[in-house]
Amino acid sequence: MKKVTLIGASGFVGTRLANITKTNFELKNIDKNQSSFHPEITTIADVRRKEQLVKELAAQDYVVLLAAEHRDDVNPTSLYYDVNVQGTKNVLDAMDENGVKKIIFMSTVAVYGLNRKNPNEQEAVKPFNHYGKSKWQAEEVLRKWYQKDKKNRSLTIIRPTVIFGERNRGNVYNLLKQIASGKFLMVGKGVNFKSMAYVGNVAAFIKYLLEKDNFGYQLYNYTDKDDLNMNNLVTQVEISLKKKVPAIHFPYWLGMIGGYGFDLLSKVTGKKFDVSSVRVKKFCATTQFDSTKVHNSGFEAQYSLSEALDRTLKFEFVNTKKDDITFISE
């Protein structure tokens, strides 16, 4: 049985990935936090500590690197580079010391920047924040590693758009919660489209790649189809929750003033708020990405975007909860 180490699998995507792969592979999870669902395969370690990684990657066949600093409000910003860039270098060094030749790396569409017109994998990158910049630098580190021994190494980079799903407490959840509350205020006209990715489909794609087990270099955008604009998203919430959501629109400039106000309040009080100028910008931006390559690869996503949103909405706002375990992201 193939030995696969997941790095950072105590979190949102990793937990779902472990759920569907633990019977297919000899699985190990390395994370700085204990796993709520898979403690039996989890070892506590930090990607910033190479000596820990060297010990844990002995006799492994494959690495899936999920660990990252990714929230909008990480402070100090040097953490993005310490974890996302230097952490990647440490993982590769530990792989080399143990003769591990294959890695799948979770990057991000943030490397493309904002308001791009449906970029595919060949488009130029233009990251606008530290998260995107650090992930791009990590990708470059990985590509240099691969180029040193292309005949024997395997590198797959996945650039997912924003990932949502059951138990996640990131930006999509906060947005769905606001819409579901009936107190939602739409900033802008609501015609900007959003590519999104369902955690169950993303995990299934990684499993598909592990099973396919190809050598070489591959780069994939990952989104689920069909894309919805913000007005469509409100309609989906109405359908799933069987409730009417008031349609109140605020102009973009007014939303940005509010965002800057919360930025100032956060700086003065030291508290973090759900609203910020960065999040208003991201909310109003069109964020569509071409994922034709993924969907032509032979992989078939189990759920469409509308079906995935329906599953998430009913889990979070309709069904009775069995526990209160959640994952913080973005």
Place of tokens 């591990």: 100
> Which amino acid belongs to residue 256?
M
Q: How many CB atoms neighbour CB 326 within 10 A?
A: 14
Q: What is the DSSP letter of 39?
A: G
DSSP states of 182-236 as a string? T---EES-S--EEEEEEHHHHHHHHHHHHHH---EEEEEEE-EEEEEEHHHHHHH
Contact (Cβ atoms closer than 8 angstroms) between residue 286 and residue 193: yes
Q: Is 64 helix (H, G, I), strand (E, B) or coil?
A: strand
* 3-class secondary structure, 160: strand
**What is the token pair recorded at 295?**
């969907």
Q: Across-strand partners of 238? A: none
CA 140 to chain centre: 19
> Rounded CA gap, 156 and 74, in Å?
27
- Phi then psi for residue 276, to 5 deg, are -155, 165
Per the annotation, the verdict on 131 as an active-site residue is yes
Separation between Cα atoms, residue 254 and residue 238, nearest integer Å:
26
User: Is the bond leading into 226 cis (omega within 30 degrees of zero)?
Assistant: yes
Considering 62, 80, 112, 131, which one is annotated as catalytic?
131
Compute φ and ψ for 156, nearest 5 degrees.
-120, 125
Question: Quick check: 48 and 88 in contact, CB under 8 A?
Answer: no
Query: What letter does residue 275 receive in the DSSP assignment?
Result: -
**Catalytic site positions:** 131
